[in-house]
A and B are shown apart, each in its own frame.
Chain A
Amino acid sequence: MLESRKVFFYLSERKKHVTKARAGKSVTLDLSFLFLIFLALFLLFGQSILAEEVPTAQEEIAIPKDSVLPVPPTNVIAKDIPNDKGGAITISWERSADDGGGAKNVTGYEILRSTKRDEGYEHIGNAPPGATSFSDNVTKDKVLYFYKIRAISPTGTSESEPSALAFSKRQWFDFSRLSLFILSLIIVFAIFYFIEKAKSEKGLFIRKIAGLEAVDDAVGRATEMGRKIIFIPGIMDMDSMQTIAGVTILGRVAKLAAEYEAKLEVPVSKSLVMVTCREVVKEAYLNAGRPDAYNDDMVYYLTDDQFAYAAALDGLFLRDRPAAVFLQGQFYAEALILAETANSVGAIQIAGTAMPTQLPFFVAACDYTLIGEELFAASAYLSKDPKLLGSLKGQDVGKFIFLLAILIGVVFLTLNSVLGLNLPDLRELFKGI
């Protein structure tokens, strides 16, 4: 009886705890949604709220009909260029009535600038006849400027009335890229959401990727044959996403090699890649419980030069006759040379790159090829780490948004074209990008 009371007490306390935790989670979620909505509203309308009014009213100038001077430009408007880092003002005007022909034909415009309305105007640039705007890209931020436009003709010159005060300033946000920002937010939130989901659930589904299924076979084959596994992480440095993806796959291959006691060799072409690969391989051997089998010489530098690197690898393939060759990363013209040579010595090859021009060679010469995005998905696929699985699922949300945008955009444009409707063009959403 006492035991059952204890159990009941425990269960009810646990229920309370869980309910509290859930409530806390939902409050956090609600707050983050409120924050998102606030942010989106601020980004959408903030510009108009924060924007400073620049008076633009201009007076028409009365010019005597019999004047030899050209009619001056009118309605000169100067305003800060939006969404920039400051230091620039755009000036627009209405062309002189004599711009386009006649005895007083305007041959060009001079742009004048001053910090005082009625004096001290300096020539800062020229505009051709027919022009109606000019960008002054050498302004000092928060300094007030007046602008005048001077029409030039063979018979003389005439100046417009000065513009209203204008000043340049640096903007905190580039609102022309708002759609990119919102899309990034959605994808980032989707990634975080699915990471949490992947942690709480048993495992998110990932479809089969044939090239990665073969990794175990390739390492096993090398072990049975007593020959080397050679892993090549591309020819680019650590600032390439493909190299990073390749190095992640190396971690899995190295762990398998350590477990199977296979011989692994990683010749690289960049010093930073060498250091990173050493760290990754060392950790993999440690995780496999074989730190004693690790040796720094397993990962070594050859040369930065693309074709010298290819020549050295070709020699290595022919002399060592590896059982398995992994080509994972960013490759260029050396791709076919490497894949063909490794193929000629009978090595099983698993390649992966996101370089469109090199993929055909890998597809033709290698046993398995990870195509583009598959290379980036490989780390999640191999490790089944909730963080990576969640981010992969989050990226799929991004792809779904793209698919939806394509579908809706194409349907709208087709209906506009066939039925003459006036449905919105979705491309306009991404105009500033």
Chain B
Amino acid sequence: MSGEVIGVWIGAILTLGIFSFLYKDNPFYKFSEALFVGISAGYWFVVTFWQYFVPKFWDNLALAYSELLTKGRVDYHWIYLVGGFFGVLMLLRLVPKIGWLSRWSLAFIVGTTAGLQFTRYLESNGIKQVVGTISPLLVSGNMNATIGNIIIVVGTFCGLIYFFFSKEHKGAFGGAARVGVWFLMITFGALFGYTVMSRMSLLIGRMDYLFGIWLSLY
């Protein structure tokens, strides 16, 4: 029996193990789950090491060292030491007395994330949506475009009103917010169907593996 065949058998048995959850929790599922979690955790550790630590930190520091040896100075690669410094601070959690220093790294990550995302969100989730919504409500000689534009404008306008938090949803404002909720729910309904169909392709992929590759039924 070749290694490939053994791999297919292991894959099929573990797939059935995970599927057995549909019946109820059982030792077969527990075994498959524990194996899946353990192997994936180890796998992601290796991936993180080779895709982040080595190319982004180690290689750049090695470059800085070679620059220092050849040119007598380091151009900009020293900046990676800052990342390394914050990484070391994270590891200090292992030393309870100075573990609080890891908060600096967390503060740095959370702060830079919020700052960097501010303009990105404003641009993609705000301005681009506004630009996409601004359209004439009446397009002469084109009924489809007229209806489409009205739906987009009313849906976006009322949907945006729903997300006002500092004003109570009462009267006309509340009415517009309710229309916004209808639009949201109709959108969710459409998205539900669409996403379920894409999940079906995942199931089909597994069935294909079991019946086609493992059992060779077709």
A207 and B113 form a contact (CB under 8 A): no
The reply to whether A183 and B29 contact each other, CB–CB distance below 8 Å, is: no
Please tell me which one of the listed residues A275, A315, A372 contacts residue B163 in the complex, with CB atoms under 8 A apart. Answer: A372
Q: Does chain B have a CB within 8 A of A11?
A: no
A152 CB to nearest B CB, Å: 42
Contact between A238 and B110 (Cβ–Cβ < 8 Å)?
A: yes
Q: B110's contact among A244, A311, A358, A360, by CB below 8 Å, is which?
A: A244
Can you name the residue of chain B whose Cβ is closest to the Cβ of A400? Answer: B164
Q: A276 on the interface (CB 8 Å rule)?
A: yes
> A184-B122, A241-B114 given as contacts; is B166 within 8 A of A360 (CB)?
no
Output the nearest chain A residue to B135 by Cβ-Cβ distance. A413
Stretch at the interface among A51-59, A153-161, A391-399: A391-399
- Assembly CA distance A176 to B198 (angstroms): 39
Contacting A183 at CB < 8 Å: which of B41, B122, B129? B122
Q: Is the CB of A275 within 8 A of B153?
A: no
Does A288 touch B at the CB level, under 8 Å? no
CB-nearest residue of chain B to A187: B122
Judge whether A403 and B157 touch: CB under 8 Å: yes
0/1 interface trace, chain A 368-411, chain B, CB 8 Å (1 if under): 00011110010011000000000011001011101101110110
A31, chain B: closest CB distance, angstroms: 25
B218 within 8 Å of A (CB atoms): no
CA distance A172 to B153 in the complex (A): 37
Residues of B within 8 A of A69 (CB): none
Contact (Cβ within 8 A) B29 A275: no
Cβ–Cβ < 8 Å partners of B130 in chain A? 402, 405-406, 409, 430
Considering only residues 1-41 of chain B, those with a C-beta below 8 Å from chain A are 18, 21, 24-25, 29-30, 32-33, 36-41
In angstroms, how far is the closest chain B Cβ from the Cβ of A177?
8
Question: Does A28 count as interface, using CB distance less than 8 angstroms?
Answer: no
Cα distance A49–B129 in the bound complex, in angstroms: 33
A312 contacts which chain B residues (CB < 8 A)?
33, 36-37
Q: Which A residues lie within 8 Å of B129 (CB)?
A: 402
Q: For B184, what are the chain A residues with a Cβ–Cβ distance below 8 Å?
A: 371
Q: Are B164 and A399 in contact (CB under 8 A)?
A: yes
Asked if B41 and A427 sit within 8 Å, CB to CB, the answer is no
Distance from A320 Cβ to chain B, minimum over Cβ atoms (Å)? 11
The distance from the CB of A190 to the nearest CB of chain B, in whole angstroms, is 11
Within the assembled complex, what's the spacing in Å between the Cα atoms of A372 and B165?
Answer: 13
Neighbour of A311 across the interface among B37, B93, B131, CB < 8 A: B37
How many residue pairs, one in A and one in B, have C-beta atoms under 8 Å apart? 190
Contacts of B70 in A (CB 8 A): none
**Residues of A close to B131: CB separation below 8 A:** 427, 430, 433
Residue of A nearest to B38 (CB): A303
Q: Check if B60 is an interface residue, CB within 8 A of chain A.
A: no
CB within 8 A of B136: which of A239, A374, A413? A413
For A371, list chain B residues within 8 Å (CB): 184
In this complex, how many residues of chain A approach chain B with their Cβ under 8 Å: the count is: 73
In the complex, A392 Cα to B66 Cα: how many Å? 50
Q: Which of B41, B90, B93, B167 has the most CB of A within 10 A?
A: B41
Give, as a whole number of angstroms, the nearest-CB distance from A182 to chain B. Answer: 11
Q: 8 Å CB contacts to B: which residues of A200-249?
A: 204-207, 209, 238-241, 244
A400 to B126, CA, bound (A): 11
Q: A251 → chain B, closest Cβ, in Å?
A: 13
The chain B residue with its CB closest to the CB of A188 is B118
Nearest chain B CB to A387 CB, angstrom units: 13
Contact, CB under 8 Å: A433 / B123: yes
Contact B40 A305 (CB under 8 A): yes
B168 touches A205 (CB 8 A): yes
- Does A373 contact B37, Cβ atoms closer than 8 Å? no
Residue A414 at the chain B interface, CB threshold 8 Å = yes
B153 touches A406 (CB 8 A): yes
| Binary per-residue interface labels of chain B (112-126) against chain A in the complex, 1 for a CB within 8 Å, 0 otherwise | 011001110111001
26 contacts between A and B (CB under 8 A): A205-B168, A207-B166, A209-B165, A239-B113, A241-B117, A244-B110, A275-B93, A275-B102, A279-B103, A303-B37, A305-B36, A305-B41, A308-B33, A311-B37, A314-B33, A315-B29, A318-B21, A360-B188, A360-B195, A377-B165, A398-B126, A399-B160, A406-B153, A414-B137, A417-B140, A427-B134
Chain A residues packing against B (C-beta within 8 Å) = 179-180, 183-184, 187, 204-207, 209, 238-241, 244, 272, 275-276, 279, 301-305, 307-309, 311-312, 314-315, 318-319, 333, 336, 356-361, 363-364, 371-374, 377, 380-381, 392-393, 396, 398-400, 402-403, 405-407, 409-410, 413-414, 416-418, 425-427, 430, 433
Q: Nearest 10 A-B pairs (CB), nearest first?
A: A305-B40, A409-B134, A304-B44, A360-B192, A360-B188, A417-B136, A308-B40, A303-B41, A413-B136, A318-B25
Contacts A275-B90, A304-B40, A405-B130 known; list 18 others, CB within 8 Å.
A207-B168, A238-B113, A239-B109, A241-B117, A244-B113, A275-B102, A303-B38, A303-B40, A311-B18, A311-B21, A363-B188, A393-B166, A399-B163, A402-B126, A406-B134, A407-B157, A417-B140, A425-B134
